[in-house]
Amino acid sequence: MATYTATVLWTRQPGAPFTDNKYSRSHEWRFDGGTVVPASSSPKVVPVPLSRQDAVDPEEAFIAAISSCHMLFVLFFAAKAGLTIDRYEDEAIGEVGKTASGATAVLTVRLRPKIDWNGRPPAPDELDRLHHQAHEACYIANSVRTEILVEPRSS
């Protein structure tokens, strides 16, 4: 079994207020390979300047993680099937709403992959099977309750 780590670091600016709830939500995500990602609450939830427009928010990261995991398995299964992919682009969309119990959640993630094939592209049923295999194998998809829809786009 593999273990993965990430360090999330937030620091209050010296002298900045806190208990008035007007503190910066800007923080960092630090990963084991040395990558540091600027992060923040979503400006759709906490307005700028308390959030950073140019940072990754947890909702975006969640959607990106699902999309990235799906893509990596599509690449794997395509290579295994003898299909060559030159480019893969996914304009994934996450939809936030209320659950039946009233909790706010990412209810649906739409993966909208556009794949450029080198040589013979797969037949539509073969492409559907490829996405189904990838979805079934994706660790992230297997870890969440969010509905994940795959809606391939034409090249």
What is the per-residue pLDDT across 95-140, written as a single tens digit (0 to 9) for each? 999 999 999 999 999 999 999 999 989 999 999 999 999 999 999 9
Task: Using alpha carbons, list the distances in angstroms from residue 130 to 77, 90, 142.
Answer: 7, 15, 17
pTM: 0.93
Amino acid 1: pLDDT: 83
Percent of the chain with pLDDT over 90: 94
Domains defined for the chain, CATH in brackets: 1-56 (3.30.300.20), 58-150 (3.30.300.20)
Helices (H), 4-97: 58-80
**The pair of three-digit structure tokens given for residue 129, joined into one six-digit string:** 């099977």
Exposed/middle/buried for residue 45 (C-beta within 10 Å: 0-12, 13-18, 19+): middle
What is the DSSP secondary structure assignment for residue 118, as one 8-state letter? E
**Cα–Cα distance between 138 and 126 in angstroms, integer?**
18
Contact 134, 74 (CB under 8 A): yes
Amino acid 154: pLDDT: 84
- Residues paired with residue 31 on neighbouring β-strands, in sequence order: 6
- Judged by DSSP in three states, 85 sits in strand
